[in-house]
Structure 1
């Protein structure tokens, strides 16, 4: 019998139309408590910025808020963006939370756009933020394809084409100090691990100790969207890896294959460990779930247009919006790979995703306009998954 895989939660801290930030935060606490009660393994927060309808800008703060309201569920980031954060500050933040809530934290780390490192005279400049976005698609995915068990791998969406250079530069200017750039990603991960172990050294060769943070019981994860650097770094360093089917469905197999190919056993992880994220909405019936998910295309469209996520619309608000063929193409890959339906329908698709990727955990992100529907969605699939 196939291992059923654990279920976990990814929360973007969405804000629904007609609601404010306070309501979104209260909903996050309530959903985390509910997820703990339903038997979910982890509750993770993403990091996003300049998105009016997505309030998850500081995973460490959000984890601290929820940790005080829960007892057993693991809490973490999926992930902290290292394009504008430093290993020391991040380890200290997580060490601070671990001091009060020991043994429950997951530090998921993701690459994110950054200014390129200044190149020495005569050398080509480093990777730009637009280079990073262009590479996220990865591979040759110009047509829809399917895995051997039928999982859809839609044609690639070119994220770089949807983000204007001016908006991109404005984001980097707002997040990074003037003239700052992100070091090599593998070096950043190495420093995080060394700080946790107490073996880090500063640029002058003297010991560098994170206090709090050194010795904290924090599990480090790497997030990846393609078969690029994140996947290979996670594999070479023997770390668990989460691949994002929910935001880069065309390249999820590339990501997990690259991770496994690069994997080297570590003291904490003797063999590869994969989690995969997915968008899902579960209702009492397929039709009910379809209605609950009807705001999703408009929400994705706002992100893909570079406007920032809108407040999540009601079904009626979504139905009143105008659409063009270009709009539909803009969101096509995300809409086709959102798992929507009754508990049985969605559980079948989760099994397909698990079997295609070899995932040991499936991380579900669900947004509906009404909080009660969102909680119920997680409850329904947890019960069906446990039954199976």
Structure 2
């Protein structure tokens, strides 16, 4: 990779009193009574606030066939965000590589790098980002395990396309991802591996890549996965030591009760998703009126416990405790709430709490 050291593009500056860099993971959620178009306009506003307030990076995640999530096309959204921001790093958190041909992803993110030099991250996951039927439609195959099992090979192929360095004699040696790697600074987008278990943690460590763990929906696996990543890490041309970010569900409001009320909208939405009933993010009133069964209440209570929420000071303390407990090098905050204004205000309040 040409240009400045890749680690410079990964390790960020700590703003204010935050112990590590803070970033944003946006799902472009669509609340009941709203539209995907409005959700995407909200994403632009949040990205601009994140940039102004000193957040390190802003990522969007690939999901499919979910009415309440408008981020089915990360590369398209990132191009739009790049046109409305100037400095903040933009990336995928992540692109689900088995859903795509590696050459396509290399071309998409090469294009993004050409449009926003030095600002693009390529985060990759191996899950489908959807249900089995939709994954089959995306991959044109009924064997969904095949794509996930071939992830290391797909990643190696993608990296070759990004670096334009297939060896002589390789079937793809004469194929070039266009736009290709920039000669000189900033090179090409750094690759991150994403995961919610030990598989990607071990692979990221073996390859010496930065790792982002989905603590926001797999909290019980966070510490074991990060420990595995650090213990297995091998220095590379990308990183000389491990770098781990974690996705954290967090929401700050001026009043503690309101935070709980807003968080319940995301909890009910997740309950419906996990039980095969995906839909728009419910309103706070709908969440308050919902009659939970005993099993549903158990699920929701467990979900809410993993969301850092409350007043700005309480959220700051919760984030600090989580960072200390996990040793995360970066916290990537995703806000669970029905309305875009509530989520945007939460990022402002968290920045205020850290003096960013």
Q: Is the structural similarity TM-score above 0.5?
A: yes
Residue 263 of structure 2: which of 293, 307, 314 is its match? 293
8 Å contact kept, 1:48–1:54: yes
Distance of 1:19 and 1:168 partners within structure 2: 24
Q: How many residues align?
A: 332
Q: What is the correspondence of 1:61-76 to structure 2 with a 5 Å cutoff?
A: 61-76=76-91
What is residue 180 of structure 2 aligned with on the other side? 213
Distance of 1:179 and 1:366 partners within structure 2: 34
With over 3 angstroms needed to count, the CA separation of the structure-2 counterparts of 1:322 and 1:179, relative to structure 1, is closer
Q: Which runs of 5+ in 1 are unaligned?
A: 115-166
- TM-score if structure 1 supplies the norm length? 0.81
Distance of 2:154 and 2:59 partners within structure 1: 21
Q: Secondary structure at the match of 1:218?
A: coil
With over 3 angstroms needed to count, the CA separation of the structure-2 counterparts of 1:305 and 1:203, relative to structure 1, is farther
Q: Is residue 2:321 matched to residue 1:355? A: no
Residue 55 of structure 1: which of 60, 67, 70 is its match? 70
Q: Deviations over 1:292-349 (max 9, x none)?
A: 22312211111111222x2122211111222101112333432110111111111111
8 Å contact kept, 2:165–2:173: no
- TM-score if structure 2 supplies the norm length? 0.88
With over 3 angstroms needed to count, the CA separation of the structure-2 counterparts of 1:23 and 1:3, relative to structure 1, is closer
Per-residue deviation, 1:366: 0.4
Q: Secondary structure at the match of 1:66?
A: helix
Q: Secondary structure at the match of 2:93?
A: strand
Distance of 1:343 and 1:220 partners within structure 2: 33
What is residue 283 of structure 1 aligned with on the other side? 253
Q: Is residue 2:204 matched to residue 1:234? A: yes
Per-residue deviation, 1:370: 2.5
Q: What is the correspondence of 1:208-357 to structure 2 with a 5 Å cutoff?
A: 208-215=175-182, 216-227=187-198, 229-308=199-278, 310-357=279-326
Q: Secondary structure at the match of 1:90?
A: helix
Q: Deviations over 1:69-104 (max 9, x none)?
A: 000000000000012112211010011111111110
What is residue 159 of structure 2 aligned with on the other side? 193
8 Å contact kept, 1:93–1:213: no
